[in-house]
Structure formats: C-alpha cells, structure tokens
Amino acid sequence: MSINRIDRIIDKYGCEKGVLIQLLLEIQRELNWIPPEAIIRINKRFKIPVSEIYRVASFYTALSLKPQGRHLVRVCAGTACYVRGGPRILDSVERTLKIKAGETTEDDKFTLETVNCLGCCALGPVVEIDGQYHGKLSSATVAKLLSKYD
C-alpha cells in the first residue's frame, strides 16, 4: 500500500480542525479500505491517538477496516424496500455470491453490504452496485444483474 498516496490525501486536508472523518472517507474511496498503515500515518502527522482513529473508523459503516472486493454491492434494507421484498433480494444476492452481508467473495470480486436507505424508496427494492442504482428488482432479476459483472 503506497504511503505516498495516503500522504497526498493527508496533505490535501492540511491541519484543519475536525478533518478526521473527511480524511478517512477519502482514503476509503481511494483505497477501498482503511489499511493499518493509513491509521499509523494519520497518527504520526496529526498526533491523533491510534485508539481514537480506530474508534472513528470502526463506528461508521462507510469505513471498512478490511480490504473490499472490486465491486461493492449494497442492498437497501430501508423500510420501503423491506415491505416490497427487500429481504428476499438480499437472500438472493447472498445465495448467488455465496457470502453473507458484510463479507467479501474469495476471489475478491464482490463485497456485499446492506445499507439503511438509499433514498430511492419509490423504486424499491433497490440495489446499488459500484455507485450505480438498480430499482424495481426481483430475486430473479438481481441474480441476472450480478452475472454481468466480472
């Protein structure tokens, strides 16, 4: 993992107050996870205790302390999707990818997560794959959708 890339992100934020969460979000976006090196680097540069950085990184769902797969699949578990069969969509994705929510496939292809609401409630059930939203799904169509990714 390149320390340079992490440093570049840190440099962008300078030493302003309260940047920790924004910084971690950007590292997450760039590297797909928060590697231990990044935490140590932030600790060195900002003098924020390692324990505090870990606390923040483990509290928020958008931050991952494990490496993630190439494709991030997020199944909406919001209320509107739930009453329109969201749990069955999740079942179908779990069955297709052979992993549970929160896990990554062995070939590092997919990471599966649930998300509380994607704000597309009128189109439920909704799944987001790599930032692309897919609405009005059924357990059969979502399996087909996943087969398009490699």
Residue 83 binds to another protein (criterion: CB under 8 A): yes
- Regarding 17 and contact with another protein (CB under 8 A), the answer is yes
Q: Show Cβ contacts of residue 136 under 8 Å, excluding neighbours closer than 6 positions.
A: 123, 124, 125
Dig out the tokens for 16 from the structure.
């302003």
Phi, psi for 62 (deg, rounded to 5): -75, -10
Measured between alpha carbons, how far is residue 102 from residues 110, 118, 134 in Å? Answer: 11, 17, 20
Least separation in angstroms between residue 48's CB and another protein is 9
CB of 82 to another protein, least distance (A): 6
The residue range among 1-9, 37-45, 99-107, 109-117 that interacts with another protein, by the rule CB under 8 A, is 109-117
Stretch that binds another protein, among 3-11, 37-45, 74-82, 99-107 (CB under 8 A): 74-82
Does residue 115 belong to the site contacting another protein (CB under 8 A)? yes
Using CB under 8 A, pick the residue from 35, 82, 101, 105 that binds another protein: 82
Q: Pick from 69, 44, 42: which is nearest to 57 by CA?
A: 42
Pairing of strands 127-129, 132-134: antiparallel
Element (H, E) at 106: none
Contact flag: residue 55 with another protein (CB under 8 A)? yes
Site string for another protein, 129-148 (x = CB under 8 A): --x-xxxx-xxx--------
Q: How far apart are CA 128 and CA 123, in angstroms?
A: 12
**Residues of this chain that bind another protein (CB under 8 A):** 17-22, 24-25, 52, 55-56, 59-63, 77-80, 82-85, 88, 91-92, 95, 115-124, 126, 131, 133-136, 138-140
